[in-house]
Structure 1
Amino acid sequence: MEAAFVIEKFILITVIFTVSLLVAMYSTYAERKVASFLQDRVGPNRAGPFGILQPLADGIKMFTKEEIIPTHANKFLFIAGPSLAILTACIGTAVIPWGSNIEIAGRTIPLQVADVNVGVLYIFGVVSLGVYGIMIGGWASNNKYSLMGAIRAASQNISYEIAMGLSIIALLMSTGSLSLKVIAEQQSGFWAHGWFTWNAFQQPLGFLIFLICAFAETNRSPFDLPECETELVGGYHTEYSSMKLGFYLFAEYINMFVSSAVMATLYFGAYNFPFMHHLGLSANMISILGVVFMMLKIFFFIFFFMWVRWTIPRFRYDQLMNLGWKVLIPLSIANIVLTGIWITVKDIYFK
């Protein structure tokens, strides 16, 4: 039994890791196609039909380019920075429930690597570690533009993690659990007892705050100040080339993938979908459809990340900080108060 458990987890980890890399790889292709559509251009169209092999061409280019390490850089930390960035990006997928349980040969297999009862705290811990990869890489480069980008990244992440954490507190007050699996199961279906079950309808302000903070945490436009090309050349990865630069770029897209999965899990029902219990299908088929709907929700959020990037101009740094400290944090505190009032009123009058 123990050997079967280890094999199941190994297969699940391998599949999730492979899917994460594939999504990150083809997110670069999707980014260019979305940008070209919004700007009335063609986009990638040379490598394969409709440019579908462009990510492979980019990967080969990254692996074969000359590897340059600046003369006065700290070599160990220069290599450790992108390694830590990609590592922290990948381990965030461990606690996300990708689907409900599936039955194979009499065994019940959960489609989640680790169902820890503090999954939300785990995600926040991983997110807070991610900034170390950027900080280490920026400092080790011995470049003033890289250092400035790293400092911006650190202050930006610290500022927006506060508002993100406060927005999650209101959600935890409603759900009563830190487990992502429990939160997903509470949103079963779409409609129950005359009310929407998805948390986005019960916590609209909290979701909006979380969404804005997710843009800042992933360094995506309009909050891409750490790698602001017009001011800082390339920000924290100015001195990077070859696959080390590729690791930083991959980490950004994997972070976007993980952020989309977390938003889908916390606010949009995770693998649940409307009328799932009224289709008359087997439990395994419902579980497979749940995985498909989970991925569709994630792809929608990834598209939204890209849509915003090519639509809204970049914030100034002072605007970024003012939004985080003077707008989002007070709003998230107000949301906690409103949630507490609503829970109290509901317990008194709607029991």
Structure 2
Amino acid sequence: MTPFFQGLGLPYEWAWTISTICGILLIALPVMLSVAMVIYVDRKVWAAMALRRGPNVVGPFGLLQSFADGLKVFLQETIIPAAANKGLFLIGPIVTFTVALLAWAVIPFNSGAILANINVGLLYILAISSLGVYGIVIAGWSSNSKYPFFSAMRASAQMISYEVSIGFILICVVLWAGSFNLNDIVKAQHGHGFGFINGFWCNPLLFPMWVMFLISSMAETQRAPFDLTEAESELVAGYQTEYSSMAFALFWLGEYGNVLMMCALNATLFWGGYLPPLEIPVLYLIPGWIWLILKIAFGFFVFSWVKATVPRYRYDQLMRLGWKIFLPVSLLFVFLVSGYLMATGHFA
């Protein structure tokens, strides 16, 4: 896009700046629109599995329900508790929502269609996702209320616990692909399964890692059955108890933004990203970004399916799964994957 603006007579610096801003808007605006629509999809999936109708009044088939809800919270008054730290109280939801958008900068939508094609893209994802803890902790502490603070501590412990196992799972993917660049990781999945399946998920050594990454991503985004930070059956709704209006909506949007981000990572790291699922020439006639969106949509359906059918864990079960099962198993598979690659001369 930079050469296009240079062709209009702009100097390189201005052309690069304008093209970068256009690229950011080209990703951020569809993602924010998608967040509104996946809330509708989420509710429809739950309704279908519970034999209910779900949203069906506002707009055709209820498609505008999310926008009506957004307008409602936008018009409500933002109430800040008198004893709260007002600056941090408002920064918390902004951090949560912003972090959910920043990670999309390194997701490849097609070969070469990526905002920031950096060699350490996966490390960037880990760094950005870890910043989400700050928004939750700041929100719980700045509310100056004990229940939101307890919930924020519980949420941060949960996120940090599963980030450890996610890190070891990603090491297995990096070892096999030989790169931290997400575009190179997608290319490494070309024909990986039996010569005609694109994706690491069909690899016997990486399939368990995909299952663990899928479950860990649900815990990382605090989705059911790991939504203990805002369990509706408990006394309070979690770290965002004191929030109202758009400040509360930003937490809600940030959660769904993080869910979409994890679905995109699942698709990129294990399902072949923008590659078609099978090595059939006619499938390559469909643009890569459409394949990526379809895989993200399937991943989101799995998230909704689990939320509608799996009961909530107790907190001790949640921590035991993370520290006593996922952590040692992911460490074992780092050993197995690296050993197999060394034995087969993959690192030669």
**TM-score if structure 2 supplies the norm length?**
0.91
Deviation at 1:143, TM superposition (A): 1.7
Match of 1:104 in 2: none
1:77 aligns with 2:75: no
Alpha-carbon shift at residue 274 of structure 1 (Å): 4.3
In 2: Cα distance, 1:226 partner to 1:31 partner:
19
In structure 1, what is the equivalent of residue 164 of structure 2? Answer: 162
Cα distance between partner residues in 2 of 1:280 and 1:183: 20
Same amino acid, percent of matched pairs: 41
Query: Which residue in the other structure is 1:241 paired with?
Result: 244
- What residue in structure 2 maps to residue 200 of structure 1? 201
Partner of 2:8: none
Q: Match for 1:265 among 261, 268, 279? A: 268
Letter in 1 for 2:85: N
Following TM superposition, the consecutive aligned residue runs of length 4 or more in structure 1 with deviations greater than 6 angstroms are none
Is the 8 Å Cα contact of residues 161 and 319 (structure 2) preserved in structure 1?
yes
Q: Distance in 1 between the 2:148 and 2:209 partners?
A: 34
- Cα contact 2:198–2:279 (8 A) shared by 1: no
Alpha-carbon separation, structure 1, partners of 2:128 and 2:299: 20
Which of 307, 310, 315 aligns to 2:308? It is: 310
Tell me by how many angstroms 1:232 deviates.
4.2
User: 2:9: which partner in 1?
Assistant: none
Local SS of the residue matching 1:237? coil
Mapped contact 2:75–2:245 kept (Cα < 8 A): yes
Q: Are residues 183 and 76 of structure 1, via their aligned partners in 2, closer, same or farther at CA, if it must alter by over 3 Å?
A: same
In the alignment, which of 286, 290, 295 is matched to residue 293 of structure 2?
295
Query: 2:253 matched to 1:250?
Result: yes
Name the CA distance, whole Å, in 1 between partners of 2:283 and 2:123.
37
CA distance in structure 1 between the aligned counterparts of 2:251 and 2:283, rounded to whole angstroms: 45
Question: Cα 1:123–1:143, aligned 2, differ >3 Å: closer, same or farther?
Answer: same
Q: Deviations over 1:280-300 (max 9, x none)?
A: 97xxxx5x6111010000011
Identify the residue that residue 107 of structure 1 maps to in structure 2: none
SS at match of 2:116: coil
Spell out, residue by residue over 1:79-122, the C-alpha distance to the aligned partner (whole angstroms, 9 max, x if none).
0000111111110100000112xxxxxxxxx3111011111110
Which one-letter code corresponds to 2:61 in the other structure? F
Asked whether the 8 Å contact 1:147–1:236 carries over to 2, the reply is: yes
Deviations 1:28-74 (A, max 9, x none): 11111111100000111110121111011011001001211111111
Contact 1:62 1:242 in 2 (8 A): yes
Residue of structure 2 equivalent to 1:329 = 327
Structure 1 residues 292 and 276: alpha-carbon distance in aligned structure 2, compared to 1, 3 A threshold: farther
Q: Give the aligned residue type for 1:27.
A: V
For residues 140 and 83 of structure 1, what CA distance do their matches in structure 2 show?
A: 14
- When residues 55 and 280 of structure 1 are mapped into structure 2, their CA distance, relative to the original with a 3 A threshold, is closer
**Structure 2: distance between partners of 1:89 and 1:276:** 33
- Structure 1: distance between partners of 2:17 and 2:289: 22
Q: Could you list the runs of 5+ residues in structure 2 that have no partner in the other structure?
A: 4-11
Are 2:25 and 1:14 aligned?
Answer: yes
Structure 2 letter corresponding to 1:88: V
- Shift, 1:210, TM fit: 1.0
Residues 1:217 and 2:220 are matched in the alignment: yes
Q: 1:40 aligns with which of 51, 66, 90?
A: 51
**Which of 12, 22, 42 is residue 31 of structure 1 equivalent to?**
42
Could you tell me which residue of structure 2 aligns to residue 181 of structure 1? 183
Does 2:94 match 1:91? no
Of residues 196-205 and 150-159 in structure 1, the stretch that sits farther from structure 2 once superposed is 196-205
What secondary structure is seen at the aligned counterpart in 2 of 1:231? coil
Contact 1:146 1:232 in 2 (8 A): no
Give the aligned length.
334
1:125-144 correspondence to structure 2 within 5 Å: 125-144=127-146
Closer, same or farther: CA 331–6 of 1 in aligned 2, 3 Å: same
CA separation of 1:193/1:223 partners in 2, compared to 1, >3 Å: closer, same or farther? closer
Listed as ranges, the matches of 1:275-294 within 5 Å are 278-279=281-282, 286=285, 289-294=287-292
How far residue 229 of structure 1 moved from its aligned partner, in angstroms, is 2.0
Distance in 1, matches of 2:18 and 2:255, equals 30
* C-alpha contact 1:159 1:324 (8 A) present in aligned 2: yes
What letter matches 2:57 in structure 1?
R
Which is worse superposed, 44-53 or 321-330?
44-53
Task: Check the 8 A contact 1:12/1:111 in 2, yes or no.
Answer: no
- For the aligned residue pairs, the C-alpha RMSD in angstroms reads 1.9
